[in-house]
Structure 1
Amino acid sequence: MIKGKVIKNYNGYYYIDLDLPESLVECRRRGKLKQKILVGDEVEITVLDNHTGVIEQLLPRRNEIRRPGLANIDQMVVIMAAQSPAPNRFLVDKMLMTCEYAGIHPHLCLNKCDLDRTIAVAYRDFYESCGYKTLIVSAQTGEGMDELLSLLPHKMTAFAGPSGVGKSSLLSRILGRNDLTIGCVSSKIQRGRHTTRHSEIMKLDYKTYVVDTPGFSSLEFEHLDPKELFCLFPDMIPYFGNCRFSSCLHRTEPDCSVTRAVAEGKIKKERYETYCKVLTTILERKR
C-alpha cells in the first residue's frame, strides 16, 4: 500500500496526492472502511490500473474541522475585507475560536486595504495586541502578498472567510492562476455571493499546500462546557485561575480576575463581549 493525501472529494471519488510527479490518483473507498474521509486526510491506498486506486485505510488525524470537512491543517488564514463587505469583529472572533478549538494556528488577513486603509490598520493593531499575526494585503494591487507568501512554505494552509472578501482573488495571485471563480458583493445587502462549493487542496510545491474552503457553515459552540470556552481566548488565559471562586464564569461574580483585567484595559472589552455573548448561548442551550 502507498501513503497519500486526500486533495479533493467529489461525488464519492477521492483524489489522492502521492507527492510524486503526475501522482494524483482517483480512488474509491474500500467498502469495509466506515470512517468519514475528509479533504486533508492521510490515507493508504492500493493503486490499480489506469492510475486509479482503492483507499484501504484512514490514518490518524492531527486535527479536523467539521463544517467544512477538513483535516490535518497546519495553519489557517482568516480573511476579512477592509470594506465591501465591511469586517465583522464578532465573526472574526468566532472564526479564530474555531481555529483554537481545532488546534489550528490562525493568522488574520485584511484584504482590500486599498479600499479603506484606516479600518485595515485598526483591525491589525487590535488583533496583534491580542496575539494574532495580522496582515494587511490587497489582491488588487499586490500589497502585502510577499508577507503572505512567506507564511506558506512546507505547510498546509487553509484560507477561510465569508463570501465577498476576496479569498479567490488572493488564491489566484498565490497560485498564478486565473481559473478560480471570483464573485462580487451585492450592493443591496453588502454580502458576497458564494463562489467556492467544495474544499479543495492545491499544491504549490513539495510539502506546500493551500486549501480553498467554501466557508464555515457552522460556527457554534453551544456543545462546549462553559469552562472550556475560556481556553479559546489565548489573550484572556493569563488572567484565568485567580478568581475567588473556582466555579467563576467571569461575568458578574465578585473578585473575578478576568472582569478586573477588562476594567483595567488588560483584556480588550470587545473580546470579552464576544466571550460573554457566546457563553450566554451555551448556558441557554444547557437549560
Structure 2
Amino acid sequence: MTKGRVIKNYNGYYYVDVGRENLVECRRRGKLLKAKILVGDELEITELGQDKGVIEALLPRRNQIRRPAVANIDQLLVIMAAQSPDPNRFLVDKMLMTCEYGGIHPTLCFNKCDLDRDTAEAYKAFYERCGYDVYLVSAKTGEGLDTLRALLPHRMTAFAGPSGVGKSSLLSQLLGRKDLSVGAVSEKIKRGRHTTRHSEIMRLDSDTYVVDTPGFSALDFEHLDPREVLRLFPDMLPYSGGCKFSSCLHLSEPECTVKQAVADGHIQAERYDTYCKILTSIAERKR
C-alpha cells in the first residue's frame, strides 16, 4: 500500500498526494463509508493505475480543526483585519480558543494594518502578552509579506479567518496567484473556475503546503465541561494550580489564584472577562 495526504475532496472523490507530480483520485472502501475524512488526513491507499486508487485506511490525526475542516497542520495563521471590519477582541479570543481546542497553538496575523496602525499595534501588544506570535501585514502595501513567506517552507500552513479580513488577497500576494480556487487539483479534475467551498491544500514544493480555507468560524463552547475551559487559555492556565478548592472555576470562589493573578496584572482583565462570558454561556445552556 501507498501512504499519501488528502489534498482536496470533490463529490466523493479524494485527491491524494503520494509524492509525485500527479495526484491519485481515490474512492473509499466500504468499511470507511462512515469515516469522516478531512483535507490534510494521511491515508493508506491501494493504487489501481492511471492515477486511480482506493482508500484502505485513515491514519491517526495529530490535530484537527472543525470549521474549517482540516487535519494534520503544522501551523495555523488566524487572519484578522486591523480595520474594515474592525477587530473584536471577544471574537479573536473565541477563534484562538477554537484552535487550542483542536490541539493547535495558532499565530495571529492582522491584515490591513496600513488602515489603522494604532489598533494593529495595540492588538499585537495585547496578544503577545498572551503568548501568541503576532504579525502586522498589509496585502495592499506589501508590508510584512516577506516575514510571512519565511514561515512557510517545510510546513503545512493553514490560513483562516472570518469573511472580509482580506485572507484571499493576502494569499494571492504571498503565493503570486490570482485565483486561489483553481490550483493543481482543479487542473487535475478538469473543472471550471469556481468559488472554494471546502478547504484545499496547495502544494508549493515536495514538503511545503498552504491550506486555503473557505472561512473560519469560532466554535460554541456550551458543550464543554466548565472545568475544561481554562485549558483553552494558555496564558491563564499556569496560575490555576494553587486555588483553595480543587474544583475552583475561578469565578466567585475564595482564595483563587487565577483571580489573584488578574488582580496582580499577570493575567489581562479582558482575557479573564472572555473566560467568564464562556462559563456563563455554558451555565445558561444547561438550565
CA contact (8 A) 2:94 2:218 kept: no
Once the two structures are TM-superposed, the CA of residue 258 in structure 1 deviates from its matched residue by: 1.1
Query: 2:237, 2:217 → 1: CA distance?
Result: 28
Deviates more, 1:232-241 or 1:59-68: 59-68
Query: 1:213, 1:103 → 2: CA distance?
Result: 18
3-state DSSP of counterpart to 2:245: coil
The reply on whether 1:178 has 2:191 as its aligned counterpart is no
Query: 1:154, 1:170 → 2: CA distance?
Result: 20
What's the counterpart of residue 221 of structure 2?
A: 221
What's the counterpart of residue 184 of structure 1?
A: none
Deviates more, 1:106-115 or 1:54-63: 54-63
What's the counterpart of residue 165 of structure 1?
A: 165
What's the counterpart of residue 270 of structure 2?
A: 270
What's the counterpart of residue 23 of structure 2?
A: 24
Query: 2:101, 2:250 → 1: CA distance?
Result: 20
TM-score (norm 1): 0.91
What's the counterpart of residue 133 of structure 2?
A: 133
Instruction: Give the share of equivalent positions with the same residue, in percent.
Output: 74
Alignment of 1:90-105 (within 5 A): 90-105=90-105
Query: 2:137, 2:98 → 1: CA distance?
Result: 23
CA change 1:167–1:272 in 2 (3 A) is same
Structure 1, gaps ≥5 residues long: 182-194
Q: Residues 94-132 of structure 1: CA distance to partner in whole angstroms, max 9, x if unpaired?
A: 111111111113000000011111111110010001110
3-state DSSP of counterpart to 1:138: coil
Q: Residues 22-50 of structure 1: CA distance to partner in whole angstroms, max 9, x if unpaired?
A: 23111111122131111000011122233
Structure 2, gaps ≥5 residues long: 182-194
Q: Residues 24-82 of structure 1: CA distance to partner in whole angstroms, max 9, x if unpaired?
A: 11111112213111100001112223312111111111111222221111111001001
CA change 1:218–1:90 in 2 (3 A) is closer
Once the two structures are TM-superposed, the CA of residue 196 in structure 1 deviates from its matched residue by: 4.1
Query: 1:163, 1:107 → 2: CA distance?
Result: 18
Aligned residues: 273
Query: 1:68, 1:203 → 2: CA distance?
Result: 18
CA contact (8 A) 2:95 2:218 kept: no
CA contact (8 A) 1:30 1:55 kept: yes
CA contact (8 A) 2:180 2:212 kept: no
What's the counterpart of residue 13 of structure 2?
A: 13
The reply on whether 1:85 has 2:91 as its aligned counterpart is no
TM-score (norm 2): 0.91
